[in-house]
Structure 1
Amino acid sequence: PLTTEQTARDALALANAQLGERPVHAVIYTHSHTDHFGGVLGVVSQEDVDAGRCKIIAPEHFLAETVGENVIAGPAMARRALFQFGVLLPADPKGHVDCGLGNGLPLGAPGLIAPTHDITKTGETMTIDGIEVVFQLTPETEAPAEMNFYFPQFRALCMAENCSHTMHNLIPIRGALVRNALKWSKYIHEAMALFAEQTDILFTSHNWPQWGKEEVSAFLTNQRDLYKWMHDQAMRLANHGAVPTEISEQLSLPEEFLANDHTRGYYGDLVHNAKAVYQRYLSWYDGNPANLHKLPPVEAGARYVELAGGEEALFDRAQAAFDEGDYRWAVELLNHLIFANPDNDAARCLQADTMEQLGYQAESSTFRNAYLNAAQELRLGPPPNAGQPVRARGILSAMTVEQVLDAMSIRMQSEALGGITTLLGLRFSDVDEPWVIGVSNRTLFYRPDDAPSSADAIVSLSRTLLIEVMSGERRIEDVIRDGLITVEGEVQAVIETFAHLDTFISGFNVVEP
Structure 2
Amino acid sequence: MTQEALFERLWNGTAKMEEWTEAVSGGAITTVADNIITVHTTYFCGSVTAIRTAEGLVLIDTAKPESAERTLAVIRSWDNSPIHTVIYTHGHIDHTSGIKVIDEEADRRGAPRPRVIAHRNVLRRLERYEASHGFSSIVQGQQFDMPGYVYPIGQRRPDLVYDDTLALTIGGERIELCHGRGETDDATFVWLPEKRVLASGDFVIWVFPNAGNPRKVQRYAPDWATALRRMEQLKPAILIPGHGPVIFGEARALQLLRDGAEALEHLTTGTLDLMNRGATLDEVLHSVSVPAEYLAKPYLVPKYDGPEFLVRGIYHLYAGWFDGNPAHLKPARTAELASELAMLAGGADKLAERAATLAESGETRLAAHLAEFASAAAPLDKQIQATRAFVLQRCIEAETSLIGKAIFAVFQRDAEKRAQ
- In the superposition, the TM-score normalised over structure 2's length comes to 0.78
Query: What is the deviation of 1:326?
Result: 2.0
1:388 alignment partner in structure 2: none
Q: 1:133 aligns with which of 171, 175, 191?
A: 175
Q: 1:184 aligns with which of 188, 207, 224?
A: 224
The residue correspondences of 1:404-415 to structure 2 (distance < 5 A) are none
What SS class does the counterpart of residue 263 from structure 1 fall into? coil
Verify the 8 A CA contact 1:234 1:247 in the aligned structure 2. yes
The residue correspondences of 1:111-510 to structure 2 (distance < 5 A) are 111-122=154-165, 124-138=166-180, 140-176=181-217, 178-193=218-233, 195-196=234-235, 199-380=236-417
Amino acid at match of 2:208: M
Query: What is the deviation of 1:83?
Result: 4.6
Verify the 8 A CA contact 2:220 2:317 in the aligned structure 1. yes
Verify the 8 A CA contact 1:4 1:38 in the aligned structure 2. yes
2:9 alignment partner in structure 1: none
Q: Distance in 1 between matches of 2:132 and 2:190?
A: 29
Is the alpha carbon distance of 1:324 and 1:337 closer, same or farther for their aligned partners in structure 2, counting shifts above 3 Å?
A: same
What SS class does the counterpart of residue 299 from structure 2 fall into? helix
Q: Distance in 2 between matches of 1:191 and 1:44?
A: 31
Verify the 8 A CA contact 1:185 1:225 in the aligned structure 2. yes
What SS class does the counterpart of residue 25 from structure 1 fall into? strand
Verify the 8 A CA contact 1:163 1:204 in the aligned structure 2. yes
Q: 5+ unaligned residues in a row in structure 1: which ranges?
A: 90-105, 382-513
Is the alpha carbon distance of 1:38 and 1:79 closer, same or farther for their aligned partners in structure 2, counting shifts above 3 Å?
A: same
Query: What is the deviation of 1:145?
Result: 1.0
1:79 alignment partner in structure 2: 138
Amino acid at match of 2:88: Y
Amino acid at match of 1:248: L
Verify the 8 A CA contact 1:88 1:373 in the aligned structure 2. no
Verify the 8 A CA contact 1:141 1:179 in the aligned structure 2. yes
1:475 alignment partner in structure 2: none
1:24 alignment partner in structure 2: 83
Verify the 8 A CA contact 1:125 1:135 in the aligned structure 2. yes
What SS class does the counterpart of residue 135 from structure 1 fall into? strand
Q: Distance in 2 between matches of 1:2 and 1:296?
A: 45
1:113-155 deviations in whole A, cap 9, x for unaligned? 1111112332x221234332111111x3221111111123432
Q: Does 1:44 align with 2:109?
A: no
1:64-106 deviations in whole A, cap 9, x for unaligned? 12222x123332233233454x3449xxxxxxxxxxxxxxxx9
Is the alpha carbon distance of 1:16 and 1:380 closer, same or farther for their aligned partners in structure 2, counting shifts above 3 Å?
A: farther
What SS class does the counterpart of residue 190 from structure 2 fall into? strand
Q: Distance in 1 between matches of 2:83 and 2:65?
A: 15
The 4+ residue runs of structure 1 with deviation greater than 6 A are none
1:372-392 deviations in whole A, cap 9, x for unaligned? 2321222136xxxxxxxxxxx
Q: 2:121 aligns with which of 61, 64, 82?
A: 61
Verify the 8 A CA contact 2:393 2:409 in the aligned structure 1. yes
Query: What is the deviation of 1:218?
Result: 0.7
Q: Distance in 1 between matches of 2:337 and 2:133?
A: 29
Verify the 8 A CA contact 1:5 1:40 in the aligned structure 2. no
Amino acid at match of 1:137: H
Q: Distance in 1 between matches of 2:113 and 2:356?
A: 65
Is the alpha carbon distance of 1:342 and 1:109 closer, same or farther for their aligned partners in structure 2, counting shifts above 3 Å?
A: same
Verify the 8 A CA contact 1:4 1:42 in the aligned structure 2. no
Verify the 8 A CA contact 2:355 2:391 in the aligned structure 1. no
What SS class does the counterpart of residue 250 from structure 1 fall into? coil
Verify the 8 A CA contact 1:83 1:174 in the aligned structure 2. no
Amino acid at match of 1:81: Q
Q: Distance in 1 between matches of 2:242 and 2:179?
A: 16
- In the superposition, the TM-score normalised over structure 1's length comes to 0.65
| Greater gyration radius | 1
Aligned length: 357
Verify the 8 A CA contact 1:31 1:62 in the aligned structure 2. yes
Query: What is the deviation of 1:30?
Result: 0.7
What SS class does the counterpart of residue 285 from structure 1 fall into? coil
RMSD of aligned alpha carbons: 2.6
Amino acid at match of 2:240: F
Q: Distance in 1 between matches of 2:150 and 2:83?
A: 25
Q: Distance in 1 between matches of 2:255 and 2:182?
A: 20
Query: What is the deviation of 1:222?
Result: 0.7
Question: More deviation in 208-217 or 45-54?
Answer: 45-54
Q: Distance in 2 between matches of 1:322 and 1:186?
A: 40
Is the alpha carbon distance of 1:179 and 1:129 closer, same or farther for their aligned partners in structure 2, counting shifts above 3 Å?
A: same
Is the alpha carbon distance of 1:82 and 1:53 closer, same or farther for their aligned partners in structure 2, counting shifts above 3 Å?
A: closer
Is the alpha carbon distance of 1:282 and 1:57 closer, same or farther for their aligned partners in structure 2, counting shifts above 3 Å?
A: same
What SS class does the counterpart of residue 384 from structure 2 fall into? helix
Q: Distance in 1 between matches of 2:69 and 2:303?
A: 29
Verify the 8 A CA contact 2:393 2:412 in the aligned structure 1. yes
Verify the 8 A CA contact 2:208 2:299 in the aligned structure 1. yes
Q: 5+ unaligned residues in a row in structure 2: which ranges?
A: 1-60
Q: Distance in 2 between matches of 1:63 and 1:46?
A: 24
Query: What is the deviation of 1:53?
Result: 4.3
Query: What is the deviation of 1:51?
Result: 7.5
